[in-house]
Amino acid sequence: YNRIEKMPTSNNNNQDDKKPAAKPSVPEFRSVAIARPQSLAIPGLRSAAPTEVIDKGAYFAPTRTKGDAKTKVVTECKDVKKYCPWTPLKLRPVPAFYPLERSSRFVEDGLEAVVDRVSEANRLLSIHAVYCNKTATATLLTSENVEMHLSLWKTSGKQEGIVVEIQRRKGDSIAFHRYSRCILDSAAGEFDIKEHVEKNGDDIDAVFSRKVQRLLTLEKPSDSTSEAENAIIAIEIAHGLVMKDRIDARQLGLESLCLLTDPKKTGHKTAVIASRVVLLGSAQDIDSNASPEEALLCDETPFQEIRQALLSLIQFRRIGDSDDFDEEDSEESEHITVLHNLALAVLANALAVMADDDIDSVSSSPEEVVTQRERLDTSESVSERFLEDSLECSENREIMKTLISELGKANLKPHNACLSAKCIGSLCRASDKARKRAQELGAKTVVQTALEVGTRTHLKLERECSKVMSSLT
Where b means 16+ CB within 10 Å and e means fewer, 268-305 reads: ebbbbbbbbbbbbbebeebbeeeeeeebbeeeeebbbb
Check if the beta carbon of residue 151 is closer than 8 Å to that of residue 165.
Answer: yes
For the segment 351-380, the average pLDDT, to the nearest whole number, is 62
How far, in whole angstroms, is CA 181 from its chain's centroid? 11
CATH topology of 104-200 equal to that of 231-287+298-320+335-357+381-472?
no
Bigger pLDDT: 221 vs 332: 332
Cβ atoms of residues 140 and 457 within 8 Å: no
Percent of the chain with pLDDT over 90: 50
Asked which of 369-378, 390-399, 421-430 is least confident by mean pLDDT, the reply is 369-378
Instruction: Give domain limits for the chain.
Output: 104-200, 231-287+298-320+335-357+381-472
Over 90: is that where the pLDDT of 80 sits?
Answer: no
Q: What would the mean pLDDT of 201-212 be, rounded to a whole number?
A: 67
What's the CA gap between 150 and 180, in Å, rounded?
9
Pairwise pLDDT comparison (84 vs 430), residue with the higher score:
430
Highest average pLDDT, of 13-27, 186-200, 293-307, comes from 186-200
Q: pLDDT tens digits for 265-307?
A: 888 889 999 999 999 988 876 444 444 444 455 678 889 999 9
3-state secondary structure 448-462: HHHHHHHHHHCHHHH
- Rg (C-alpha) for the chain, rounded Å, is 35
What pLDDT was estimated at residue 350? 95
Looking at residue 81, its pLDDT comes to: 47
pLDDT at 60: 41
Is the alpha carbon torsion for 251, 252, 253, 258 positive or negative?
A: positive
pLDDT at position 69 = 41
Instruction: Report the alpha-carbon distance of residue 177 to residue 409 in Å, rounded.
Output: 29
> What's the whole-number average pLDDT of the chain?
79
The predicted structure's pLDDT at residue 153: 95
Does residue 14 register a pLDDT over 60? no
Residue 58 pLDDT: 43
pLDDT band at 45 (very low <50, low <70, confident <90, very high): very low
> Considering the domain 104-200, what is its CATH architecture?
2-Layer Sandwich (3.30)
- Considering the entire predicted model, what is its pTM? 0.76
**Can you name the residues that pair with 137 across neighbouring β-strands?**
132, 151
The pLDDT value recorded for residue 239 is 94
**What pLDDT score does 328 carry?**
58
| Mean pLDDT in residue range 378-407 | 88
Find the helix or strand (DSSP H, E) in which 164 lies. strand 162-170
Average pLDDT over residues 4-16: 49
DSSP codes joined into one string, 405-438: HHHTTTTT-HHHHHHHHHHHHHHHHH-HHHHHHH
Between these two residues, 141 and 227, which has the higher pLDDT value?
141
| Alpha helices by DSSP H, 204-246 | 206-218, 224-242
What pLDDT, on the 0 to 100 scale, is given for residue 215?
65
pLDDT at 414: 96
Burial class of 71 by CB neighbour count within 10 A (0 to 12, 13 to 18, 19+): middle
C-beta atoms surrounding 400 within 10 Å:
21
Q: How confident is the model at residue 409 (pLDDT cuts 50, 70, 90)?
A: very high
CATH architecture, domain 231-287+298-320+335-357+381-472: Alpha Horseshoe (1.25)
Q: Are 193 and 201 in contact (CB under 8 A)?
A: no
Residue 96 has pLDDT above 50, yes or no: yes
Residue 137 has pLDDT above 80, yes or no: yes
Q: Check: CB of residue 278 under 8 Å from CB of residue 261.
A: yes
Exposure string of 77-107, with b = 16+ CB inside 10 Å and e = fewer, is eeeeeeebbbebeebeebeeeeeeeebbbeb
Tell me: pLDDT of 223 over 50. yes
Q: Is the pLDDT of residue 181 over 70?
A: yes
**Residue 469: Cβ within 10 Å count:** 17
